[in-house]
Structure 1
């Protein structure tokens, strides 16, 4: 294997997630150990689609020249204002920490990423220790059991072995989850288990028609209560009970003093809420509740080799829904507890019963190498570019040129993309090492997006799939037709309102959610006004029109994400004012739009290249 072929395989979609190179309706037994060859999908040859390649045309040689000139200058614009002699340095110097690259300080001022970065050594030990302990557990509890996966033909004995494997994994997951969460959150584990128990009773004990509304009211209420009550401190609760139990006050303080490694358990509890909702609705939709026929019997599906779609939609065995231990094992599953990705209850049970064929030593190793390279990219960025510290210091934006302002905003978004992707990939890597394959959360680089709709399919992809299954579709989705489109827009507004509340209860995130929906509307209108079917005879003209619209999309997506996750509304106003207040700024914006147009055309061609290889992603 040459270096080029190694990196080609390392950065292939198949290495990232086999869901991208296999149809969701294809049984996973067709996923084999070897990386797919170009032009195949689901192990079958695919017809070549897409336009003829343009990479070697004069047009794209011009685009290459633009890239070679612009990209280094874009990066240097941020590096140049991150030097000790640059404007505002004294305002944010206190936010920098000692670094280990190039003798420079590191911008570790983002609290969310710093919490992960500072604990990487301990987390790395867990990635090795947790799967190792499972192997030891299995060695002594399943000494003669074969590894079951989708390639195994179901027989009476293999089904018994599958049931044994499921119970064995659930037992280990339950014990390890309690130990893990107790170590993380100390005595707050009692609060967590109480919330889990209430939700479990809602899903299993209430009349069927009361479950959906009660589940949503309770779980959204938990999001608000966790924020307002700041994690329900024992000392506050004990003080309220002192008049009735005089000696209880000290006990509250003692319990609070043992808060574990992460005393503020409520900060990262939002993902647990999603799994609680998933359990309740997967049980609500199961044939045991609806008294409908089993999908396995209707479709004559092979339970040992379900497709990715069937793993999500086919109900788990009835016994798993009525076991509180199984429910806790799923909701608190250690590799995915803190940051996800999000795995539905049905999928978790299916993979715990039969090992997914997509989980292989080769893929997991390549995925781990890819994660380490991404981690190093982040280290390189925060050692050389201090855009996060600059934005936190409330600087005098007027000292920067329009180009520098726009690059500070742009690389701020890149930092957000990396700080989310790295933990997601780390915890997914942990799950892969443990034999579970959750969905990949980041499909494309942040700079490889031109469609608002496609962007939200590829950003936090497991959450997007969760909202579609548990929110968007139950609300009615968005079918075609005038009234259907209006309903679809209303449903999108409801979805993004929930998404904003779920992230954090802040006004700026609500504004972000509503801006996302608002900025999707022009794309929907343009798609209706310029249908691709009417431009088949003029593909280049249509490509230019789409490119112009995509430039507007990119600008709107950047604005929405800056408001929601970086500088807020006031910060965005300051940046826009700094760029647009002079004729130099206006000239820069025109140049920036032309450069974005070039980037968009390369994105178009990248997707055409994927089609030629038989890969069709909706993002």
Structure 2
């Protein structure tokens, strides 16, 4: 294993591996050793350490706000340091890593035992029959384990989940075909609101409707108390609905995959002269399942697939069935070990950051933002976004690693670091990538994408983007702050789309460096806008972001800082561009 390639994008996902290994025709000569990039190295050796020191310094006890956020800190495992474990979402994952690690080791082991016991007859069968037997074994095991896993996680509330899943399956299979699409969207969007507003349909609330409280003798419990008793049997995660949004995506995916399978002319890969064993990803996603595969048992096995149930990544039903029939060669040990090492590195990096940079605790303590300089405010916001990136990346890679160990290869969710994103459009292709692919397949393309005639193309694309990001915001959480974030993203995409129209690359073929510098200026602006929208949606909110903008633009020092920050981001953009060129020289072409 070559550790020098550990941080190549191909290590994350075999889907990114070059087909030929030859440089792409569009690849440019390396600029890493040119005088221009030597200047950029000097910037990288000085500015990032200064940025990190700034956040470390405001996290120390001498900071006036320390007394406010210090109660949010916990005892850490690094000697002499406390740990910022105040983010509830990541804390629940971090605190349960030892238990989940046991499950991750136990689950594939149990499958291998089950496979060894039930697969004795496969050698005597044809490849087609053996594949069907393999599918049957996998879905049976997945469904059995999922039922146990779900009961441990949610206790008695697992019954609510099975009831919801049954209703959704009835929409896909019992309704007339022309109503399935609309009914699927109405049901699942209403489900998002209902889950949130009802707080997961507590049995105590249900009991109060069925049997209204009645006056009883002193010391006697009212008859409706049975609901509260059932609620007490909520398993390890009683608030099941908080994690159910990712399941909603699988419900929609199944229904539309089932609906579209009815219109499919070639119901089998063999009818398109494709090798079913080595089916390309596009065909797995589009035609990986036969109409006869859309059974209730297969549906439950897919929706509740344990490694991906809690957080994803998202894989559609067709792909799940295709991989269950014919495991991919990408789940071999040679690919798993580098991926596991990279996950371990990210986890260790996060631990060090939480022990030395108390960004989340500061933002949660309602600090007096006025005591911070524009530079300090910007660094707190900037590093907070990196903590957000890591707190999402680590669980996603953990669960994807579990799935890879189990023989199912879902897409990688986090392709690029948040500091390696010069384009807003490309950023959304690489951030939560499996969700982006889901959005394209089930929302954006069915709505027509950007395909429209003449002058209406830009307006059509803008409308579709607005619909997409409104759904994205509502799917994440039902609150105004995230809606504003979604609309800001759409607004900030417009300048980049306009710049691509006014400055097409084909007109700069004879001036590649000038075009690269021009793109660098635009990329710096993109970075500022992405940070602003993310600060609103996931960090300090509207008021905090407003205070940051006022502090930056409200005085000369802030404006000088903004110019310096823009120049620094310009340098970062040039390094991002060359990093992508180095990938093209290896034969890798990504749109993010």
TM-score range, shorter chain: over 0.9
Which one of the candidate residues 89, 105, 108 is aligned to 1:112? 89
Contact 1:97 1:107 in 2 (8 A): yes
Of the three residues 560, 563, 571, the one matched with 2:533 is 560
Contact 1:283 1:315 in 2 (8 A): no
- Which residues of 2 match residues 36-185 of structure 1 at below 5 A? 41-43=18-20, 45-143=22-120, 145=122, 157-185=126-154
SS at match of 2:238: coil
Deviation of 1:104 after TM superposition, in Å, equals 0.5
Gaps of 5+ in 1: 22-40, 147-154
Instruction: Verify the 8 A CA contact 2:22 2:586 in the aligned structure 1.
Output: no
Q: 1:279 maps to what in 2?
A: 254
Q: Displacement of 1:251 after TM fit?
A: 2.6
Does the aligned pair in 1 maintain the 2:28–2:581 contact within 8 Å? yes
Aligned to 1:228: 197
In the aligned structure 2, how far is the partner of 1:471 from the partner of 1:245? 49
Q: In the alignment, what sits opposite 2:505?
A: 532
| Aligned match of 2:13 | 17
Contact 1:311 1:346 in 2 (8 A): yes
Q: Secondary structure at the match of 1:306?
A: coil
Q: Is the 8 A contact 1:105 1:383 kept in 2?
A: yes
Aligned equivalent of 1:359, options 294, 310, 331: 331
| TM-score where L is the length of structure 2 | 0.96
Native 8 Å contact 2:314 2:435 kept in 1:
yes
C-alpha separation in 2, matches of 1:581 and 1:519: 22
Residue 403 of structure 2 corresponds to residue 426 of structure 1: no
Q: Matched residues in 2 for 1:350 and 1:295: separation?
A: 11
Contact 1:320 1:326 (8 Å CA) reproduced: yes
* Aligned partner (choices 451, 454, 459) of residue 479 of structure 1: 451
Bigger drift between 472-481 and 253-262 goes to 472-481
C-alpha distance in 1 between matches for 2:574 and 2:50: 20
- In the other structure, the counterpart of 2:414 is 442
Q: Which runs of no fewer than 5 residues in structure 2 stay unpaired?
A: 216-221
Shift in Å, 1:294: 2.8
SS of corresponding position for 2:336: helix
Aligned to 1:202: 171
Q: Specify which of 532, 545, 550 is matched with residue 572 of structure 1.
A: 545
Aligned residue in 2 for 1:387: 359
Alignment equivalent of 1:596, drawn from 530, 554, 569: 569
Residue 8 (structure 1) aligned with residue 4 (structure 2): yes
Question: C-alpha deviations, 1:124-161, integer Å up to 9, x for none?
Answer: 00110111111111111113546xxxxxxxx9701111
Helix, strand or coil for the counterpart of 1:100?
A: coil
Distance 1:144 1:45, change over 3 A: farther
Shift in Å at residue 245 of structure 1?
Answer: 12
User: Is contact 1:397–1:578 with CA below 8 Å preserved after alignment?
Assistant: no
Q: Which residue of 2 aligns with 1:488?
A: 461
CA-to-partner distance for each residue in 1:90-139, whole Å, 9 max, x for gaps? 01011000001141100011101001000000010011011111111111
Q: C-alpha distance in 2, partners of 1:60/1:402?
A: 28
CA distance in 1, matches of 2:530, 2:157: 38
Given candidates 309, 321, 325, the residue that maps to 2:282 is 309
Q: Does 1:608 align with 2:581?
A: yes
Bigger mean CA deviation after superposition, 604-613 or 194-203:
604-613
1:244 positional shift:
11
Shift of the alpha carbon at 1:317?
Answer: 2.0
CA RMSD of aligned residues (A): 1.7
CA distance in 2, matches of 1:356, 1:202: 32
Measure, in 2, the Cα distance between the counterparts of 1:244 and 1:383. Answer: 50
Q: 1:46 to 1:607 in 2, by over 3 A?
A: closer
Give, in whole Å, the separation in 2 of the partners of 1:43 and 1:541: 31
* Partner Cα separation in structure 2 for residue 538 and residue 212 of structure 1: 49
Structure 1 residues 79 and 244, CA, compared in 2 at 3 Å: closer, same or farther?
Answer: closer
Given the alignment of the two structures, is residue 189 of structure 1 paired with residue 158 of structure 2, yes or no?
yes
SS where residue 540 of structure 1 aligns?
helix
**1:282 and 1:315 in contact (8 A); partners too:** no
Distance in structure 2 (CA, Å) of the matches to 1:291 and 1:206: 19
Aligned residues: 585
Q: Are the aligned partners of 2:212 and 2:224 in contact in 1 as well (CA < 8 Å)? A: no
Q: Residues of 2 paired with 1:78 and 1:67: CA distance?
A: 17
- Cα deviation digits, residues 526-583 of structure 1 (max 9, x gap): 0000011111111111111111111111100000111111111111111222222221
Q: What's the offset of the Cα at 1:410? A: 0.4
Deviates more, 1:50-59 or 1:170-179: 50-59
Answer whether contact 1:341 1:439 (CA < 8 A) is retained: yes
Query: Structure 2 CA distance, aligned partners of 1:326 and 1:233?
Result: 29
C-alpha spacing 1:44/1:546, structure 2 compared with 1 (3 Å): closer
Deviates more, 1:554-563 or 1:539-548: 539-548
Distance 1:260 1:245 in 2: 29
Structure 1 stretch displaced more, 292-301 or 49-58: 292-301
SS at match of 2:227: helix
**TM-score, scaled relative to structure 1:** 0.92
Change (3 A) 1:243 1:547: closer
How far is the alpha carbon of 1:87 from its aligned partner?
Answer: 2.2
- Cα shift at 1:297: 4.9
Number of the residue aligned with 2:243 = 268
For 1:439, what is the secondary structure of its paired residue? coil
Q: How many angstroms does 1:250 deviate by? A: 3.2
- The Cα of 1:485 is off from its aligned counterpart by 2.3
